Amino acid sequence: MEHIEVNIEEEHQSERIDKVIASVDPGWSRSQVQNWVKDGNVTVNGKQIKTNYKVSTGDVVSITIPDPSPLDVVPEEMDLDIVYEDHDVLVVNKPRGMVVHPAAGNYTGTLVNGLMAHCKDLSGINGVLRPGIVHRIDKDTTGLLMVAKNDMAHESLVNQLKAKTTKRKYKAIVHGVMPHVRGTIDAPIGRDKTDRQKMTVTDENSRDAVTHFNVLERYDGFTLVECQLETGRTHQIRVHMKYIGFPLAGDPKYGPKKTLDINGQALHAGVLGFQHPRRDTYMEFEAPLPKDMEALLDKLRRKMG
């Protein structure tokens, strides 16, 4: 079980407890929170409350998140783009629009469903909902992911991520013509206080985040950049690019409404490198840009003449 404490600030004064708690994490629904309250997993100032309780500034809300009940994630036959596979690891090129692992209200059609149909021997370290998943990319981001097929491989890959020895390079189309040739964004990322569905650069309840970037091509009003992750925070590239004034094209959460014609952020995880968990040899993989991003670049290049 996981325990979380939330201190109620003035902005939430007199709001219902279930609404406030549901805003803490985008993966929590109000109905799920209401069940936690009814089951006694939520207290305010040490006392159990009802679902219609209205919070006051200064309240200390304690939440005990119960362990997920066993859930059979159903294997689904999918035409996965497997770039590499052996007994320990698998590298897959994820398409746009595919969620990586099941979550509340979204238990089918995910990459995990497809992986479970493809192979039966995924690492169980990440639990029943995320077998084999070492890291993830957003639903509308395309590109390469490494998947662990056993616990030894999982621990090795996670340790490499923590040690910052993996290579993860992305290509992104951003709004604006970047004057820089290259740069590093070193700015901590945490959850946005005004919109809990978003992340933002902040010093409060944040974690270090570092993104290196270099310019590949400039167009009329847009730039193609390559970003290399040193850390792997939620929405890191999307948040960092917005922070320096060059939000991703097509990004429905962090970008402008008037943008390029693409269904989701123009972001592709094109290069992935890591030490093989068993052989201890370095492996690097590259996936070409998806067709929709290539089409956008062709259009931008033609516009430049």
Alpha helix locations (H) across 126-262? 151-162, 236-243
Report yes or no: 27 and 47 within 8 Å, Cβ to Cβ: no
- Mean pLDDT for 145-169 is 95
- Model confidence at 305, in pLDDT bands (50, 70, 90)? confident
Q: Residue 27 above 80 pLDDT?
A: no
Beta-strand relationship, 267-275 and 142-148 = parallel
Catalytic residues: 138
> Which of 45-49, 63-67, 268-272, 277-281 bottoms out in mean pLDDT, i.e. has the lowest?
63-67
> Which of 54-63, 94-103, 105-114, 155-164 bottoms out in mean pLDDT, i.e. has the lowest?
105-114
pLDDT at 293: 98
**% of the chain surpassing 70 pLDDT:** 97
Q: Residue 71 above 60 pLDDT?
A: no
**% of the chain surpassing 90 pLDDT:** 79
**b (16+ CB within 10 A) / e for 81-101:** eebeeeebbbbbbbebebbbb
**Considering Cα of 156, then 142, then 100, then 76, what sign does the dihedral take?**
negative
- Model confidence at 2, in pLDDT bands (50, 70, 90)? confident
* Gap between the Cα atoms of 266 and 257, Å rounded: 14
Backbone angles phi, psi at 265, to 5 degrees: -60, 140
Mean pLDDT estimate for the chain: 92
- Model confidence at 148, in pLDDT bands (50, 70, 90)? very high
Q: Residue 6 above 80 pLDDT?
A: yes
- Mean pLDDT for 261-274 is 97
pLDDT at 8: 94
User: Starting at the edge strand that comes first in sequence, how are the strands of the sheet with 42-44 ordered?
Assistant: 2-7, 60-65, 42-44, 47-48
Stronger pLDDT, 272 or 130, i.e. the higher one: 272
* Gap between the Cα atoms of 217 and 225, Å rounded: 7
- Mean pLDDT for 238-261 is 97
